[in-house]
Amino acid sequence: MPVSKPVPATSPSEPSTIHWTEAGEARSARWRSERGANPPKKVVIADDSMAADTAYRLACEGTGLLWRGDYQNARLLLQAIARRVDKPAKPKRTKRHKAGESDAPAEVPAPVFPEAFHLHRQAQAQRARVLGMVLIPFDADYSIPLRRAPDAKKACAEAWGPSKEGGTSVASLRELMGFISSHEWRRKGVPIPALGEDGPHNRVHPHYGVFSPVRGEYIDLVAQAPVPEGLDDLTGFDIGTGTGVLAAVLALRSGVQRVVATDQDPRALACARDNLKRLGFPQIEVREANLFPEGKAHIIVCNPPWLPARPGSPIEHAVYDEDSRMLLGFLNGLAAHLEPKGEGWLILSDIAEHLGLRTREWLLAAIDAAGLKVIDRLDATPHHPKAADATDALHAARAAEVTSLWRLAAK
Protein backbone atom coordinates (compact mmCIF):
# COMPACT_ATOMS: atom_id res chain seq x y z
CA MET A 1 0.00 0.00 0.00
CA PRO A 2 1.06 3.64 0.00
CA VAL A 3 4.19 4.69 1.78
CA SER A 4 3.03 7.56 3.93
CA LYS A 5 0.65 10.43 4.42
CA PRO A 6 1.04 14.18 4.03
CA VAL A 7 -1.58 15.02 6.63
CA PRO A 8 -1.21 17.72 9.27
CA ALA A 9 0.78 16.53 12.25
CA THR A 10 -1.31 16.62 15.40
CA SER A 11 0.03 17.93 18.67
CA PRO A 12 0.19 15.31 21.44
CA SER A 13 -2.71 15.39 23.83
CA GLU A 14 -2.33 15.52 27.59
CA PRO A 15 -1.25 12.12 28.95
CA SER A 16 -4.20 10.12 30.26
CA THR A 17 -4.16 7.96 33.35
CA ILE A 18 -5.28 4.41 34.01
CA HIS A 19 -6.60 3.48 37.46
CA TRP A 20 -6.97 0.16 39.23
CA THR A 21 -7.01 -1.46 42.67
CA GLU A 22 -4.27 -3.88 43.68
CA ALA A 23 -3.68 -5.52 47.09
CA GLY A 24 -6.45 -3.32 48.46
CA GLU A 25 -4.80 -0.09 47.36
CA ALA A 26 -5.84 2.38 44.66
CA ARG A 27 -3.13 2.71 42.03
CA SER A 28 -2.60 4.60 38.80
CA ALA A 29 -0.10 5.01 35.98
CA ARG A 30 0.26 6.85 32.72
CA TRP A 31 -1.80 5.29 29.94
CA ARG A 32 -0.10 4.94 26.57
CA SER A 33 -1.93 4.18 23.35
CA GLU A 34 -0.38 4.91 19.98
CA ARG A 35 -3.73 4.41 18.25
CA GLY A 36 -5.50 6.83 20.60
CA ALA A 37 -7.63 4.31 22.50
CA ASN A 38 -9.01 5.37 25.87
CA PRO A 39 -7.86 3.44 28.95
CA PRO A 40 -10.24 0.71 30.15
CA LYS A 41 -12.59 2.01 32.84
CA LYS A 42 -12.33 -1.27 34.70
CA VAL A 43 -9.06 -3.09 35.32
CA VAL A 44 -8.39 -6.40 37.06
CA ILE A 45 -5.09 -8.02 37.92
CA ALA A 46 -4.30 -11.08 35.78
CA ASP A 47 -1.57 -13.68 36.00
CA ASP A 48 -0.65 -17.20 34.88
CA SER A 49 -3.63 -18.71 36.72
CA MET A 50 -6.26 -16.93 34.61
CA ALA A 51 -8.10 -19.21 32.18
CA ALA A 52 -8.32 -18.16 28.54
CA ASP A 53 -12.14 -18.35 28.53
CA THR A 54 -12.28 -16.04 31.55
CA ALA A 55 -9.83 -13.62 29.96
CA TYR A 56 -11.81 -13.63 26.72
CA ARG A 57 -15.09 -12.90 28.51
CA LEU A 58 -13.58 -10.03 30.50
CA ALA A 59 -11.88 -8.57 27.43
CA CYS A 60 -15.15 -8.67 25.47
CA GLU A 61 -16.78 -6.76 28.35
CA GLY A 62 -14.11 -4.06 28.06
CA THR A 63 -12.22 -5.00 31.22
CA GLY A 64 -8.49 -4.46 31.11
CA LEU A 65 -6.28 -7.35 32.25
CA LEU A 66 -3.16 -5.89 33.89
CA TRP A 67 -0.61 -8.68 33.70
CA ARG A 68 1.51 -9.64 36.70
CA GLY A 69 2.64 -13.10 35.60
CA ASP A 70 5.19 -14.44 33.18
CA TYR A 71 5.54 -12.31 30.03
CA GLN A 72 5.65 -15.27 27.66
CA ASN A 73 2.46 -16.63 29.22
CA ALA A 74 0.82 -13.27 28.52
CA ARG A 75 1.69 -13.74 24.84
CA LEU A 76 0.17 -17.22 24.90
CA LEU A 77 -2.97 -15.84 26.52
CA LEU A 78 -3.25 -13.15 23.86
CA GLN A 79 -2.99 -15.82 21.15
CA ALA A 80 -5.72 -17.84 22.87
CA ILE A 81 -8.00 -14.79 22.98
CA ALA A 82 -7.29 -14.12 19.30
CA ARG A 83 -8.34 -17.67 18.39
CA ARG A 84 -11.63 -17.14 20.19
CA VAL A 85 -12.18 -13.78 18.50
CA ASP A 86 -11.48 -15.27 15.07
CA LYS A 87 -13.55 -18.41 15.54
CA PRO A 88 -16.44 -18.41 13.06
CA ALA A 89 -19.86 -18.04 14.66
CA LYS A 90 -22.03 -21.13 14.61
CA PRO A 91 -24.97 -20.79 12.21
CA LYS A 92 -28.33 -20.40 13.89
CA ARG A 93 -31.03 -22.93 13.17
CA THR A 94 -34.22 -21.31 12.08
CA LYS A 95 -36.37 -24.45 12.30
CA ARG A 96 -36.32 -27.90 13.81
CA HIS A 97 -34.86 -30.49 11.46
CA LYS A 98 -37.06 -33.36 10.44
CA ALA A 99 -35.76 -36.89 10.32
CA GLY A 100 -33.54 -37.43 7.31
CA GLU A 101 -32.87 -33.71 6.68
CA SER A 102 -29.32 -32.50 6.38
CA ASP A 103 -27.73 -30.70 9.33
CA ALA A 104 -25.59 -28.60 6.99
CA PRO A 105 -26.35 -24.87 7.38
CA ALA A 106 -27.97 -23.08 4.49
CA GLU A 107 -25.54 -21.11 2.36
CA VAL A 108 -25.47 -17.43 3.20
CA PRO A 109 -24.67 -15.14 0.29
CA ALA A 110 -21.56 -13.02 0.72
CA PRO A 111 -22.26 -9.37 1.56
CA VAL A 112 -22.30 -6.99 -1.39
CA PHE A 113 -19.49 -4.42 -1.60
CA PRO A 114 -19.09 -1.81 -0.18
CA GLU A 115 -21.09 -3.31 2.69
CA ALA A 116 -18.53 -6.12 3.01
CA PHE A 117 -15.73 -3.57 3.35
CA HIS A 118 -17.50 -1.66 6.13
CA LEU A 119 -18.41 -4.89 7.95
CA HIS A 120 -14.80 -6.00 7.66
CA ARG A 121 -13.53 -2.74 9.16
CA GLN A 122 -16.06 -2.97 12.00
CA ALA A 123 -14.97 -6.52 12.74
CA GLN A 124 -11.29 -5.51 12.68
CA ALA A 125 -11.96 -2.58 15.02
CA GLN A 126 -13.81 -4.82 17.47
CA ARG A 127 -11.00 -7.37 17.27
CA ALA A 128 -8.45 -4.66 18.06
CA ARG A 129 -10.50 -3.49 21.06
CA VAL A 130 -10.76 -6.98 22.55
CA LEU A 131 -7.11 -7.89 21.99
CA GLY A 132 -6.08 -4.51 23.37
CA MET A 133 -7.39 -5.46 26.83
CA VAL A 134 -4.27 -7.48 27.78
CA LEU A 135 -2.11 -4.82 29.46
CA ILE A 136 1.59 -4.69 30.27
CA PRO A 137 3.32 -2.46 32.88
CA PHE A 138 6.42 -0.41 32.08
CA ASP A 139 8.95 1.25 34.33
CA ALA A 140 10.03 4.83 33.64
CA ASP A 141 12.91 3.65 31.43
CA TYR A 142 10.56 1.40 29.36
CA SER A 143 11.82 -1.77 31.02
CA ILE A 144 9.10 -4.39 31.62
CA PRO A 145 8.93 -5.67 35.24
CA LEU A 146 7.76 -9.19 34.35
CA ARG A 147 9.46 -12.57 34.31
CA ARG A 148 11.03 -13.49 30.92
CA ALA A 149 10.17 -10.09 29.49
CA PRO A 150 12.22 -8.92 26.47
CA ASP A 151 14.34 -5.80 26.44
CA ALA A 152 12.03 -3.59 24.38
CA LYS A 153 13.50 -0.23 25.40
CA LYS A 154 14.69 0.65 21.88
CA ALA A 155 11.42 -0.43 20.29
CA CYS A 156 9.40 1.66 22.74
CA ALA A 157 11.68 4.68 22.35
CA GLU A 158 11.25 4.52 18.56
CA ALA A 159 7.47 4.60 18.98
CA TRP A 160 6.98 6.79 22.05
CA GLY A 161 10.12 8.91 22.02
CA PRO A 162 12.94 8.95 24.58
CA SER A 163 12.01 7.66 28.03
CA LYS A 164 11.77 10.17 30.83
CA GLU A 165 12.23 9.38 34.47
CA GLY A 166 9.28 10.09 36.68
CA GLY A 167 6.73 7.33 36.64
CA THR A 168 5.40 4.04 35.41
CA SER A 169 3.07 3.48 32.49
CA VAL A 170 0.73 0.86 31.08
CA ALA A 171 0.04 -0.11 27.45
CA SER A 172 -1.54 -3.01 25.61
CA LEU A 173 0.58 -6.08 24.94
CA ARG A 174 -0.65 -6.09 21.35
CA GLU A 175 0.69 -2.58 20.82
CA LEU A 176 4.01 -3.53 22.37
CA MET A 177 4.29 -6.50 20.00
CA GLY A 178 3.68 -4.08 17.13
CA PHE A 179 6.57 -1.92 18.38
CA ILE A 180 8.88 -4.92 18.54
CA SER A 181 7.90 -6.06 15.04
CA SER A 182 8.42 -2.54 13.67
CA HIS A 183 11.82 -2.37 15.35
CA GLU A 184 12.84 -5.56 13.55
CA TRP A 185 11.69 -4.13 10.20
CA ARG A 186 13.76 -1.04 10.91
CA ARG A 187 16.80 -3.04 12.00
CA LYS A 188 16.80 -5.51 9.09
CA GLY A 189 15.40 -3.24 6.38
CA VAL A 190 13.34 -4.07 3.30
CA PRO A 191 15.21 -5.07 0.11
CA ILE A 192 14.34 -2.89 -2.89
CA PRO A 193 15.30 -4.58 -6.18
CA ALA A 194 14.82 -1.30 -8.08
CA LEU A 195 17.77 0.13 -6.13
CA GLY A 196 20.09 -2.67 -7.27
CA GLU A 197 21.11 -6.10 -6.07
CA ASP A 198 20.13 -6.93 -2.51
CA GLY A 199 22.70 -5.85 0.04
CA PRO A 200 23.18 -3.52 3.01
CA HIS A 201 23.14 -0.44 0.76
CA ASN A 202 19.98 -1.33 -1.18
CA ARG A 203 17.54 -1.65 1.68
CA VAL A 204 15.01 0.79 3.07
CA HIS A 205 14.60 0.88 6.83
CA PRO A 206 11.06 1.99 7.80
CA HIS A 207 10.61 3.78 11.12
CA TYR A 208 7.66 3.10 13.38
CA GLY A 209 4.52 4.71 12.04
CA VAL A 210 5.85 4.94 8.47
CA PHE A 211 4.38 2.45 6.03
CA SER A 212 6.83 -0.25 4.97
CA PRO A 213 7.36 -0.60 1.18
CA VAL A 214 6.79 -4.35 1.14
CA ARG A 215 4.62 -4.24 -1.99
CA GLY A 216 7.13 -3.76 -4.76
CA GLU A 217 4.89 -3.41 -7.81
CA TYR A 218 4.36 0.33 -7.40
CA ILE A 219 8.09 0.87 -6.91
CA ASP A 220 8.82 -1.01 -10.12
CA LEU A 221 6.34 1.18 -11.99
CA VAL A 222 8.32 4.31 -11.04
CA ALA A 223 11.53 2.56 -12.09
CA GLN A 224 10.10 1.60 -15.49
CA ALA A 225 7.90 4.53 -16.57
CA PRO A 226 9.38 6.51 -19.48
CA VAL A 227 10.74 9.91 -18.50
CA PRO A 228 9.66 12.97 -20.53
CA GLU A 229 11.60 13.17 -23.77
CA GLY A 230 13.55 16.14 -25.09
CA LEU A 231 14.35 17.59 -21.67
CA ASP A 232 17.66 17.95 -19.83
CA ASP A 233 18.58 18.32 -16.16
CA LEU A 234 15.25 17.06 -14.92
CA THR A 235 13.84 17.98 -11.51
CA GLY A 236 11.56 15.56 -9.69
CA PHE A 237 9.17 15.92 -6.75
CA ASP A 238 8.08 13.00 -4.56
CA ILE A 239 4.88 14.01 -2.77
CA GLY A 240 4.26 12.17 0.52
CA THR A 241 7.64 10.51 0.51
CA GLY A 242 7.29 8.29 3.60
CA THR A 243 10.42 6.12 3.73
CA GLY A 244 11.92 8.04 0.80
CA VAL A 245 11.96 4.96 -1.42
CA LEU A 246 10.27 6.55 -4.45
CA ALA A 247 12.50 9.62 -4.23
CA ALA A 248 15.53 7.32 -4.35
CA VAL A 249 14.19 5.38 -7.33
CA LEU A 250 13.31 8.63 -9.11
CA ALA A 251 16.84 9.96 -8.52
CA LEU A 252 18.24 6.93 -10.35
CA ARG A 253 16.28 7.65 -13.51
CA SER A 254 18.26 8.87 -16.49
CA GLY A 255 18.38 12.66 -16.76
CA VAL A 256 17.05 13.38 -13.26
CA GLN A 257 19.52 15.72 -11.57
CA ARG A 258 17.54 16.96 -8.57
CA VAL A 259 14.75 15.54 -6.42
CA VAL A 260 12.70 17.18 -3.66
CA ALA A 261 10.81 14.83 -1.32
CA THR A 262 8.00 16.19 0.86
CA ASP A 263 5.89 14.98 3.76
CA GLN A 264 4.07 16.45 6.76
CA ASP A 265 4.54 13.59 9.17
CA PRO A 266 7.58 14.22 11.43
CA ARG A 267 8.25 10.48 11.60
CA ALA A 268 8.22 10.19 7.82
CA LEU A 269 10.55 13.15 7.41
CA ALA A 270 13.06 11.66 9.87
CA CYS A 271 12.72 8.26 8.22
CA ALA A 272 13.26 9.60 4.69
CA ARG A 273 16.31 11.63 5.73
CA ASP A 274 17.81 8.60 7.46
CA ASN A 275 17.22 6.28 4.50
CA LEU A 276 18.39 8.68 1.81
CA LYS A 277 21.57 9.43 3.74
CA ARG A 278 22.17 5.71 4.23
CA LEU A 279 21.55 5.02 0.52
CA GLY A 280 23.85 7.83 -0.59
CA PHE A 281 21.53 10.35 -2.28
CA PRO A 282 22.85 13.82 -1.34
CA GLN A 283 21.01 15.34 -4.32
CA ILE A 284 17.62 14.62 -2.71
CA GLU A 285 16.20 17.37 -0.50
CA VAL A 286 13.64 16.35 2.15
CA ARG A 287 11.23 19.13 3.07
CA GLU A 288 8.23 19.49 5.31
CA ALA A 289 5.39 20.65 3.06
CA ASN A 290 1.67 20.32 2.51
CA LEU A 291 1.84 18.30 -0.71
CA PHE A 292 3.92 20.44 -3.11
CA PRO A 293 7.15 22.30 -2.38
CA GLU A 294 7.75 25.68 -3.93
CA GLY A 295 8.66 25.74 -7.59
CA LYS A 296 8.06 23.41 -10.52
CA ALA A 297 9.32 20.02 -11.64
CA HIS A 298 9.48 17.87 -14.75
CA ILE A 299 8.32 14.70 -12.96
CA ILE A 300 6.03 14.80 -9.92
CA VAL A 301 5.33 11.45 -8.27
CA CYS A 302 2.53 10.85 -5.78
CA ASN A 303 1.44 7.59 -4.15
CA PRO A 304 -1.58 8.64 -2.04
CA PRO A 305 -3.47 6.28 0.27
CA TRP A 306 -5.64 4.09 -1.91
CA LEU A 307 -8.88 3.80 0.06
CA PRO A 308 -11.26 6.79 0.48
CA ALA A 309 -12.29 6.03 4.05
CA ARG A 310 -11.72 7.51 7.48
CA PRO A 311 -8.59 6.24 9.27
CA GLY A 312 -9.20 4.69 12.66
CA SER A 313 -5.71 5.29 14.07
CA PRO A 314 -2.68 7.47 13.24
CA ILE A 315 -0.86 4.75 11.30
CA GLU A 316 -3.95 4.13 9.14
CA HIS A 317 -3.44 7.50 7.44
CA ALA A 318 -1.04 5.61 5.16
CA VAL A 319 -3.93 3.43 3.94
CA TYR A 320 -7.07 5.57 4.19
CA ASP A 321 -7.57 8.94 2.51
CA GLU A 322 -10.82 10.36 3.91
CA ASP A 323 -12.95 11.91 1.15
CA SER A 324 -9.96 11.39 -1.21
CA ARG A 325 -8.47 14.62 0.16
CA MET A 326 -4.85 13.90 -0.68
CA LEU A 327 -5.70 12.48 -4.09
CA LEU A 328 -7.76 15.54 -5.00
CA GLY A 329 -5.16 17.89 -3.49
CA PHE A 330 -2.49 16.37 -5.69
CA LEU A 331 -4.61 16.46 -8.84
CA ASN A 332 -5.84 20.01 -8.29
CA GLY A 333 -2.36 21.39 -7.61
CA LEU A 334 -0.41 19.39 -10.16
CA ALA A 335 -0.75 21.57 -13.27
CA ALA A 336 0.54 24.65 -11.45
CA HIS A 337 3.73 22.83 -10.41
CA LEU A 338 4.62 21.16 -13.73
CA GLU A 339 7.35 22.49 -15.97
CA PRO A 340 6.47 22.69 -19.68
CA LYS A 341 6.27 19.12 -21.06
CA GLY A 342 6.39 17.85 -17.48
CA GLU A 343 4.41 14.89 -16.18
CA GLY A 344 2.65 13.89 -12.99
CA TRP A 345 2.92 10.21 -12.06
CA LEU A 346 -0.08 9.21 -9.98
CA ILE A 347 0.27 5.75 -8.44
CA LEU A 348 -3.09 4.27 -7.51
CA SER A 349 -4.57 0.85 -6.99
CA ASP A 350 -8.08 0.19 -8.28
CA ILE A 351 -9.05 -1.77 -5.17
CA ALA A 352 -11.35 1.08 -4.11
CA GLU A 353 -13.27 0.53 -7.34
CA HIS A 354 -13.65 -3.19 -6.67
CA LEU A 355 -14.86 -2.40 -3.16
CA GLY A 356 -17.46 0.01 -4.48
CA LEU A 357 -15.89 2.99 -2.72
CA ARG A 358 -14.97 4.90 -5.88
CA THR A 359 -15.58 4.53 -9.61
CA ARG A 360 -13.24 4.85 -12.56
CA GLU A 361 -15.58 7.50 -13.96
CA TRP A 362 -15.12 9.56 -10.77
CA LEU A 363 -11.34 9.38 -11.08
CA LEU A 364 -11.32 10.37 -14.76
CA ALA A 365 -13.69 13.25 -14.04
CA ALA A 366 -11.43 14.47 -11.21
CA ILE A 367 -8.41 14.36 -13.54
CA ASP A 368 -10.29 16.32 -16.19
CA ALA A 369 -11.64 18.88 -13.70
CA ALA A 370 -8.08 19.55 -12.50
CA GLY A 371 -7.05 20.64 -16.01
CA LEU A 372 -5.11 17.45 -16.68
CA LYS A 373 -5.06 14.80 -19.38
CA VAL A 374 -3.98 11.18 -19.33
CA ILE A 375 -0.92 10.49 -21.51
CA ASP A 376 -0.62 6.81 -20.67
CA ARG A 377 -1.23 4.26 -17.93
CA LEU A 378 1.14 1.50 -16.82
CA ASP A 379 -0.42 -1.42 -14.94
CA ALA A 380 0.98 -4.06 -12.59
CA THR A 381 -0.67 -6.99 -10.85
CA PRO A 382 0.01 -7.25 -7.11
CA HIS A 383 1.41 -10.51 -5.77
CA HIS A 384 1.00 -10.01 -2.03
CA PRO A 385 -0.22 -13.03 0.01
CA LYS A 386 -3.75 -11.71 0.63
CA ALA A 387 -4.43 -11.62 -3.11
CA ALA A 388 -4.31 -15.42 -3.08
CA ASP A 389 -6.02 -15.97 0.30
CA ALA A 390 -9.54 -17.18 -0.47
CA THR A 391 -10.47 -16.98 3.22
CA ASP A 392 -9.82 -13.24 3.36
CA ALA A 393 -13.03 -11.23 3.75
CA LEU A 394 -12.05 -8.97 0.85
CA HIS A 395 -10.57 -11.69 -1.35
CA ALA A 396 -12.75 -10.95 -4.39
CA ALA A 397 -11.52 -7.35 -4.50
CA ARG A 398 -7.90 -8.20 -3.74
CA ALA A 399 -7.79 -10.91 -6.42
CA ALA A 400 -8.99 -8.45 -9.08
CA GLU A 401 -6.76 -5.55 -7.97
CA VAL A 402 -4.48 -3.75 -10.42
CA THR A 403 -1.94 -1.08 -9.44
CA SER A 404 -1.46 1.67 -12.04
CA LEU A 405 0.88 4.55 -12.72
CA TRP A 406 -1.12 7.27 -14.47
CA ARG A 407 1.03 9.57 -16.59
CA LEU A 408 -0.68 12.96 -16.42
CA ALA A 409 0.05 16.26 -18.14
CA ALA A 410 -1.50 19.72 -18.14
CA LYS A 411 -4.06 20.25 -20.91
Quote the domain boundaries for residue 319.
199-410
Angle separating helix axes 71-86 and 115-131, nearest 10 degrees: 150
Q: Distance (Å, rounded) from C-alpha 327 to C-alpha 291? A: 10
DSSP state of 320: B
- Does residue 179 sit in the same domain as residue 213? no
Tell me what the mean pLDDT of segment 357-382 comes to: 96
Decide if 148 contacts 142 (C-beta within 8 A): no
**Does the pLDDT at position 214 exceed 80?**
yes
- Does residue 35 sit in the same domain as residue 136? yes
What distance lies between CA 93 and its chain's CA centroid? 40
Helix (H) and strand (E) counts for the chain? 12, 15
Three-state DSSP class for 178?
helix
Decide if 340 contacts 297 (C-beta within 8 A): no
Q: In the chain, how many domains are there? A: 2
- Does residue 249 sit in the same domain as residue 301? yes
Radius of gyration of the chain (CA): 24
Q: Distance (Å, rounded) from C-alpha 296 to C-alpha 134? A: 51
- Chosen domain end from 135, 150, 185: 185
What distance lies between CA 168 and its chain's CA centroid? 29
- Tell whether 6 is covered by a domain: no
- Does residue 151 sit in the same domain as residue 275? no
**Does the pLDDT at position 230 exceed 80?**
yes
- Does residue 204 sit in the same domain as residue 289? yes
Three-state DSSP class for 290?
coil
- Tell whether 208 is covered by a domain: yes
- Does residue 238 sit in the same domain as residue 331? yes
- Tell whether 101 is covered by a domain: no
- Tell whether 169 is covered by a domain: yes
- Does residue 55 sit in the same domain as residue 169? yes
- Does residue 80 sit in the same domain as residue 212? no
pTM of the model: 0.86
Amino acid at 160: W
- Does residue 280 sit in the same domain as residue 337? yes
Q: How confident is the model at residue 229 (pLDDT cuts 50, 70, 90)?
A: confident
pLDDT single digits (tens) 89-107? 665 555 554 444 544 444 4
pLDDT single digits (tens) 141-198? 999 999 999 999 999 999 999 887 668 999 999 999 999 999 999 999 999 999 987 6
244 backbone φψ class: left, alpha, beta (φ>0; ψ -120 to 50): left
- Does residue 279 sit in the same domain as residue 374? yes
Helices marked H in 170-263:
173-188, 217-224, 245-251
